[in-house]
Amino acid sequence: MENKGISRAVIKRLPRYYRYLGELKEEGVERISSSELSSKMKVTASQIRQDLNNFGGFGQQGYGYNVNYLFNEIGRILGIDKKNNMIVIGAGNMGQALTKYTSFRSYGFDIIGVFDVNANLIGKSINGIVVQDYSEVASFIRNNPVDIAVLTVPKEAAGSIAEYLVQLGIHAFWNFAYTDLRLGPGIVVENVHLSDSLLRLSYEVKSKGASND
């Protein structure tokens, strides 16, 4: 199926479709209409039809969408029909939490290595994965297929680590360091800033407080 030229806005919504369709699948639902999906997801039915039409229109008028087919196709478009090996750089609180969080595995994301420079952390086992000395990362990447690097290091260290990993052949970064990494053409970065999210919440809390005054 052709999925070139899909807008970023649609791609951003796909994980949510994937999640809801997964739940429907678990409930044994085989078909769903755009209006039923619409009331479940609190998105307009026309938005759903428009979004899903990008992929060649899985739906049929009056017949609804085949949940299983749509789930698998969206999974394929998102690239989770294959396994992705990840390494975590930085075994502090955030790196350890992500390494312990096993839910990504169900999407085929496997953490296969964790690295740090701190001698107190090197050798420690996190969820069965032993933290390795960061100086070993190049040989690890040479000997193991690594698709994604997760960066959970201080922001001052993130840029140079990312550039080094790019030289070693890593093209995808899940960046939790509190800085926006931009690494040039062909390198994909998903910056995840939990603090930004918390500040947005803070604004909402404050505005709500103001409207209640």
List contacts with ligand ATP (CB under 6 A). Answer: 89-95, 115-118, 121, 134, 152-154, 157, 161
- With respect to ligand ATP, which residue has the nearer C-beta, 110 or 133? 133
- With respect to ligand ATP, which residue has the nearer C-beta, 22 or 159? 159
- With respect to ligand ATP, which residue has the nearer C-beta, 167 or 211? 167
Is residue 114 within 8 A of residue 99, CB to CB? The reply is: yes
Q: How far is the CB of 74 from ligand ATP (least distance, A)?
A: 32
Does residue 106 come out as left (phi exceeding 0), alpha (psi in the -120 to 50 range) or beta? alpha
Q: How far is the CB of 152 from ligand ATP (least distance, A)?
A: 5
Q: How far is the CB of 165 from ligand ATP (least distance, A)?
A: 11
- With respect to ligand ATP, which residue has the nearer C-beta, 51 or 116? 116
